[in-house]
Amino acid sequence: MARIVMKFGGTSVADLERIRHVAARVKREVDSGNEVAVVVSAMAGTTNRLVGWCTQLAPLHDAREYDAVVATGEQVTAGLLAIALQALGVAARSWLGWQIPLATDDAHGKARIQSIEGAELIRRMQSGQVPVVAGFQGVGPDRRVTTLGRGGSDTSAVALAAALRADRCDIYTDVDGIYTTDPRIVARARKLVKIAYEEMLELASVGAKVLQTRSVELAMKERVRVQVLSSFDDGTSLGGDLPGTLVVDEDEIVEQEIVSGIAYSRDEAKVTVRGVPDRPGVAAAIFGPLSAASINVDMIVQNVSADGTTDLTFTLNRADLPRAEQTLGEHRAGIGFAALLADREVAKISVVGVGMRSHSGVASTMFRTLADKGINIQVISTSEIKVSVLIAAEYTELAVRALHTAYGLDA
Amino acid sequence: MARIVMKFGGTSVADLERIRHVAARVKREVDSGNEVAVVVSAMAGTTNRLVGWCTQLAPLHDAREYDAVVATGEQVTAGLLAIALQALGVAARSWLGWQIPLATDDAHGKARIQSIEGAELIRRMQSGQVPVVAGFQGVGPDRRVTTLGRGGSDTSAVALAAALRADRCDIYTDVDGIYTTDPRIVARARKLVKIAYEEMLELASVGAKVLQTRSVELAMKERVRVQVLSSFDDGTSLGGDLPGTLVVDEDEIVEQEIVSGIAYSRDEAKVTVRGVPDRPGVAAAIFGPLSAASINVDMIVQNVSADGTTDLTFTLNRADLPRAEQTLGEHRAGIGFAALLADREVAKISVVGVGMRSHSGVASTMFRTLADKGINIQVISTSEIKVSVLIAAEYTELAVRALHTAYGLDA
């Protein structure tokens, strides 16, 4: 017997038929003797519709009212799934954030969980009832409804799993696990049986949008074993084998690969600030105003100085580019740059693996592989378990495929 | 300066454009110096969709989950209207049933209000903020969401007006007031300036579905002055004149009419139980089983006995007729009747007015008027302020028009 939190995303509960399917899936877990709690998202499309209404009424609206409106999506699904479970003879009841309570801070629209009262839910699970928790929502210190930000139901599920001391948190999505890279680009991509939290975090932040980043951070902090699996295929657990990918502590991964996956992101833009005076404080002069405008900068490279001036290159989310150009333009006098160049046609390719900590040569393999394909590297950045490069966007698929082969990841 | 509760129904908030219109209407009331609280229904169509989902998942579903699902409709409208008000510069915030709290009993799906905590809302109104309350919902003793039954937002509004000691409760609907009869039948029907609670109750129960019956009962009990007015026309209050119909204590109605209105209902059916033994207990034998089956019986007539047997005739809601026939069939042996006759082609016509208490001749005017038109009266029932007759349905319009003229109600 195990205690399991099952989380179902918006496409998994998109209509009544799929809600019935989810109920049957939950029943199977209950029937096999497990204690189960469920976390649900809003039915696919609902949240976008509700957000759209708020924005149409006022582009800048009260985040507390936004929360009251959008949190209803998950409330509907929780009630409907409880009804569907009861129809299958499974004892169930819905729980809203304020009823648990799942307490958050007062950062409406992107609140952070502060505590979850788990005792009553545990008591009910032990007596055979399935709590169906509305994801994405909590209650703030002002007793108003809060939401956790887009994708927040993943975080709800992981936090609930921690509070309930669950053995596992199963995240049902529209993919059936975490792959070595995007299977749409590399047909021979392999599904990973296990992946370390740190690797998942690096993959999440570079575009493999399976789990909300915060949910992975929380899982790592609370040591919650997370399983990513598909809500559509019906792979039952045979002989203890799990059908999805387990996100776990790296100590649990016995056969450590050096590189676990190749990620890419096309949402990048590159900015080069030409001819800035090479003196202390110039980086602060550039990045201070960007930070003040809430623009996140990713990779940064400063060229070697020549003639007392230098060039500074950085990358950022492409959607932020117009605001970054405007911000720097407004501060041109203070910074004293000669020209501003922007390039939208770039992509970031990342090689991720906790094995890098103990193995050298990962970066040089990457550089050589790209050079062999004639791909020019524009910017490089590294972390303990990741090497990222910026290249021309048109080489994205070629680079991902070549690296996937080079690190021995092909199935 | 007055304190006003304004209630807007589903068609008044059917889309964003109408929500903006409602916000402008509320702002006008605020700008003229009044303290205002608003109660909203779900956007038209929303509740039916949510109810449909529950029913499709399980025809007999947990009423507590049904409440969690359907209460979201009003939550959405409350948040959206708060946003729309803020966009017009009006301080506003949404309130859910559990936040006020608006406490109800645990009769999920048709809960009754037990108490409303009004102090905080009054404090905020006095400081210039408009509370936007989600109608139709409350919180039960088990800290779960409850709903008040269809049309319950009217009751929310009246109860809130009582709790806030409001000077008036304005109910905005898709009609612009209470008429002497249905204007679709009688073109010369007049809008009433005032109507007594008791009259409104009698009218509500016979088919003029402007206000939920419970809301009128509550208004009468708490002495809340209710105004029914249109959310579509824009009749501003000039010189103290009110554009709708005021539902008030009869003492407030100075120029008392003997008859205030003519109501009709086509949702009737007539059942005649033929040849029952004329002995004590036979009425109980017939109506006991019907009551046990939750079938409401309206008018009842027992014929004069002949040969030791008698006939019993009663009316009921047409939708209940099949169940009534089945129930009586099952108890045929116990009752011992000879035959059961049902007639769906009947209508109930009612003449209503508190003036009847002090005037005689109202009933005889009714009977003579109908006789003059050749309309046969099948059943008669009377109350202190109402005379009702059952006639063949095909005479409905003719009877209503003739009575409207006979009592001097034509404009």
Query: A with B: how many residue pairs have Cβ under 8 Å apart?
Result: 111
User: What is the complex's ipTM, to 2 decimals?
Assistant: 0.83
Residue A34 counted as domain residue? yes
- Give contacts of B143 with chain A, Cβ < 8 Å: 99
Task: Mark which of A207, A222, A251 sits at the end of a domain.
Answer: A251
User: Is B216 found in the same domain as B73?
Assistant: yes
Mean pLDDT for the stretch of residues B182-210 = 84
User: Is A184 found in the same domain as A37?
Assistant: yes
Chain A contact probe: residue of B67, B76, B81 with most A CBs at under 10 A: B76
User: Is B273 found in the same domain as B244?
Assistant: no
User: How far is it, in rounded angstroms, from Cα B31 to Cα A192?
Assistant: 64
User: Residues A158, A113: contact at Cβ < 8 Å?
Assistant: no
User: Is B296 found in the same domain as B177?
Assistant: no
The angle that helices A63-70 and B72-87 make with each other, rounded to 10 degrees, is: 160
User: Residues A225, A248: contact at Cβ < 8 Å?
Assistant: yes
Residue of A72, A82, A98 lying closest to B75 (CB–CB): A72
User: How far is it, in rounded angstroms, from Cα B70 to Cα B85?
Assistant: 24
Question: Given an 8 Å threshold on Cβ–Cβ distance, is B57 in contact with A143?
Answer: no
- Give contacts of B62 with chain A, Cβ < 8 Å: 82-83, 86, 93
Residue B226 counted as domain residue? yes
User: Is B305 found in the same domain as B235?
Assistant: no
**Residues 6 through 35 of chain A touching chain B, CB cutoff 8 Å:** 16, 19-20
Question: Given an 8 Å threshold on Cβ–Cβ distance, is A83 in contact with B66?
Answer: yes
Q: State pTM to two decimals.
A: 0.84
Neighbouring CB atoms inside 10 A of B282's CB total 20
User: Is A310 found in the same domain as A234?
Assistant: no
- Give contacts of A94 with chain B, Cβ < 8 Å: 65, 68
Question: Given an 8 Å threshold on Cβ–Cβ distance, is A53 in contact with B16?
Answer: yes
User: Residues B90, B30: contact at Cβ < 8 Å?
Assistant: yes
Tell me, what amino acid is at B372? D
Tokens of A258: 């050096």
Phi, psi at A12, each rounded to 5°: -70, -20
User: Is A169 found in the same domain as A115?
Assistant: yes
User: Is B277 found in the same domain as B209?
Assistant: no
User: Residues B26, B130: contact at Cβ < 8 Å?
Assistant: yes
Residue A411 counted as domain residue? no
**Dihedral angle sign, alpha carbons of residues B81, B154, A146, B68:** negative
Whether residue A50 lies within 8 A of chain B, CB to CB, comes out as: yes
Question: Given an 8 Å threshold on Cβ–Cβ distance, is A79 in contact with B98?
Answer: no
pLDDT at A234: 54
Nearest CA in chain A to B56: A16
Residue of B56, B65, B87 lying closest to A79 (CB–CB): B65
Residue entry with tokens 């966009």: B87
Residue A257 counted as domain residue? no
Looking at A298-383, list the stretches that DSSP marks H as alpha helix, in order from N- to C-terminal side: 321-330, 332-335, 362-372
Q: Which of B361, B391, B362, B397 is nearest to B379 (CA)?
A: B391
pLDDT over 90 at B210, yes or no:
no
The alpha carbon of B102 is separated from its chain's Cα centroid by a whole number of angstroms, namely 21
The alpha carbon of B170 is separated from its chain's Cα centroid by a whole number of angstroms, namely 15
How do the pLDDT tens digits run along chain A, 411 residues long? 899 999 999 999 999 999 999 999 999 999 999 999 999 999 999 999 999 999 999 999 999 999 999 999 999 999 999 999 999 999 999 999 999 999 999 999 999 999 999 999 999 999 999 999 999 999 999 999 999 987 899 999 999 999 999 999 999 987 888 889 988 899 999 999 999 999 998 886 555 567 888 899 999 999 999 999 987 755 444 333 457 899 999 888 877 778 999 999 998 999 999 999 888 888 899 999 999 998 999 999 888 877 889 999 999 999 999 999 999 999 999 999 999 999 999 999 999 999 888 888 899 999 999 999 999 999 999 888 999 999 999 999 999 999 999 999 998
* Helix, strand, coil abundance in chain A, percent, nearest 5: 40, 25, 35
How close, in Å, is residue A294 to chain B by CA atoms? 25
User: Residues A78, B144: contact at Cβ < 8 Å?
Assistant: no
What is the DSSP secondary structure assignment for residue B306, as one 8-state letter? B
pLDDT over 70 at B208, yes or no:
no
Question: Given an 8 Å threshold on Cβ–Cβ distance, is A57 in contact with B143?
Answer: no
User: Is B304 found in the same domain as B191?
Assistant: no
User: How far is it, in rounded angstroms, from Cα A101 to Cα A262?
Assistant: 40
Residue of A20, A66, A76 lying closest to B69 (CB–CB): A76
Calculate ∠ Cα A291-A297-A300, nearest 5°.
120
Task: Mark which of B250, B272, B295 sits at the end of a domain.
Answer: B250
Could you tell me the pLDDT band of residue B238, with boundaries at 50, 70 and 90? very low
Whether residue A75 lies within 8 A of chain B, CB to CB, comes out as: yes
* CATH number of residue A397's parent domain: 3.30.2130.10
Phi, psi at B181, each rounded to 5°: -165, 180
Nearest CA in chain B to A88: B58
- Give contacts of A108 with chain B, Cβ < 8 Å: none
Question: Given an 8 Å threshold on Cβ–Cβ distance, is B58 in contact with A87?
Answer: yes
Task: Mark which of B250, B282, B312 sits at the end of a domain.
Answer: B250
Looking at B274-383, list the stretches that DSSP marks H as alpha helix, in order from N- to C-terminal side: 282-292, 321-330, 332-335, 362-372
Burial class (CB in 10 A: 0-12, 13-18, 19+), B327: middle
How close, in Å, is residue A387 to chain B by CA atoms? 46
Q: How many residues does chain B have?
A: 411
Whether residue A143 lies within 8 A of chain B, CB to CB, comes out as: yes
Whether residue B133 lies within 8 A of chain A, CB to CB, comes out as: no
Question: Given an 8 Å threshold on Cβ–Cβ distance, is B57 in contact with A145?
Answer: no
Residue B176 counted as domain residue? yes
How many structural domains are present in chain A? 2
pLDDT tens per residue across span B285-310: 999 999 999 899 999 988 887 788 99
Whether residue B78 lies within 8 A of chain A, CB to CB, comes out as: yes
Residue A228 counted as domain residue? yes
User: Is A104 found in the same domain as A233?
Assistant: yes
Q: How many residues does chain A have?
A: 411
Q: Which of A339, A340, A274, A277 is nearest to A308 (CA)?
A: A277
Question: Given an 8 Å threshold on Cβ–Cβ distance, is B83 in contact with A61?
Answer: yes
Residue A256 counted as domain residue? no
User: Is B242 found in the same domain as B303?
Assistant: no
User: Is A390 found in the same domain as A242?
Assistant: no
- Give contacts of A65 with chain B, Cβ < 8 Å: 79-80, 82-83, 86, 93-94
Domain extent, residue A67, equals 3-251
Residue B44, sorted as left (phi over 0), alpha (psi -120 to 50) or beta, turns out to be beta
* CATH number of residue A192's parent domain: 3.40.1160.10
> A379 pairs with which residues across the strands?
A390
User: Residues B109, B61: contact at Cβ < 8 Å?
Assistant: no
User: How far is it, in rounded angstroms, from Cα B268 to Cα B264?
Assistant: 10
